[in-house]
Amino acid sequence: MHRNRNAKIVATLGPASSDRSTIQALFDAGADVFRLNFSHGGHADHKARLDTIRAIERDSGRPIGVLLDLQGPKLRLGVFSDGPVTLAAGDAFRVDMDHELAGDKRRVALPHAEIYSALEVGTELLIDDGRVRLRVESFGPEHAETRVVIGGRVSDRKGVNVPGVVLPLSALTAKDHADLDYGLSLGVDWIALSFVQRAEDIAEIKAIVGDRAGIVAKLEKPAAIASLEAIVAASDAVMVARGDLGVEMPHEQVPAIQKRIVRACRKAGKPVIVATQMLESMVSAPVPTRAEASDVATAIYDGADAVMLSAESASGQYPLEAVAIMHSIIAQTEADPYYREMMAARDDGAAALASDGIGVAVRGVAQALKVAAVVAYTSSGYSALRMARERPHAPIVGMTPRQAIARRLALAWGVYPVLCHEVVDVLEMSAWACRTASREGIARSGDTIVISAGIPFGTPGTTNLLRIAQVD
């Protein structure tokens, strides 16, 4: 089931896509990785969906990635005594730690001590995704006096964002720890960490996860963009969480930030997912808007490894159509000759590591000889990711003896993951690479393939071999 495209599709599962037939249809239509959003649903719901995914994987013989998305900290107001209040621009309004006292038009509880410790005069508090904005005029360790900048209706437990401030807050809540333990026990392949502000947040979760799953840093806060390179270096993959970025940053800055993140990930050879509202209208309509189709295509032209569907596939009325149309948009975009020009224009120049040199050489050989496939034999996924970084013209077959790595590689650009046995020498590896490319329908007898690997075998991060072989 080799897809006729390189960029991957991440589809979120939910109430509209929980049964076996729907998940099977989503996979057949083009979903490469399934997202389990732990902000919604119980553990039993997610286990049932994961069990279904694994059953489809066994039947299809193709590795499928599973992404667990942690909820992260949620900063919320308290409740109001007489229902919602309407704040007008210019009004004075107080927030404080007194969660037992119900709010009114003059004050409400904001029971998060971490916020007050990080405030400065002039800091803005965004209520309900920025629909209401407050500016801090004075503050103490348990309160802040603010002035309403943008007024509106405010009701119980609305979310609060504090842009431009690094909060002294772990990205992992008690709920996240419980969800993380459960997800790891199920064998998920990727963990998406919300509320990332700095590289230390990635180090914290990696200390728990180890090598049991890859870590995806969700970039949704301005503080994370300020530490972009360090976060990319610390992570295994990155998600451009455009919805939250659009709350905490001016909307007009988000497109440039998206391109900057994708470029940083491309340079580092880390998979990058562009997410949020990609085909939003398809929650309730069978076709997307032209602007949405253009949005997906733009992410592909930029070189994103994957694009993600959220509500469209989780709770929308047309989950199957959303995946099928996204697949079609990607395939059509990648067929455009300008797409290849864009990929070539993003060449980062001289290689700094031996593995990068092999990657550049493989890309050159693949283009010069018009090879049928690039085969990366890898135990850690590293060789395949270095090949994906170079965006070669030929499909990348990621051969690995580890099922967990095969599943993780389902997220990487252009990589067709294949589970194989351990090889002991270069000749055996070459023979298996040729047989695999032929068996999977990617190469035919007489075709040339180019192979990359690391010697000695089984040692992560040692991509140092390039071999050209002909399929019998």
Rounded Cα distance between 34 and 418, Å, is 18
For the question of residue 435 being annotated catalytic, the response is: no
Q: Which of 123, 276, 333, 463 is catalytic?
A: 276
- Evaluated on CA atoms 346, 350, 351, 352, the torsion sign reads negative
For the question of residue 333 being annotated catalytic, the response is: no
Q: Give me 334's structure tokens.
A: 């990648």
Q: Which of 49, 198, 206, 218 is catalytic?
A: 218
Q: Angle at CA 276, nearest 5°, toward 274 and 87?
A: 140
For the question of residue 378 being annotated catalytic, the response is: no
Q: Which of 8, 35, 49, 408 is catalytic?
A: 35
Q: Angle at CA 450, nearest 5°, toward 449 and 455?
A: 135
For the question of residue 276 being annotated catalytic, the response is: yes
> Quick check: 418 and 435 in contact, CB under 8 A?
no
- Evaluated on CA atoms 58, 401, 27, 60, the torsion sign reads negative
Contacts of residue 312, defined as CB under 8 A and 6 or more positions apart, other chains included, come to: 12, 278, 279, 280, 282, 283, 318, 319, 322
Q: Which of 3, 20, 47, 76 is catalytic?
A: 76
Cα atoms found within 13 Å of the Cα of residue 223, Cβ hemisphere only: 19
Tell me the catalytic residues: 35, 76, 218, 276
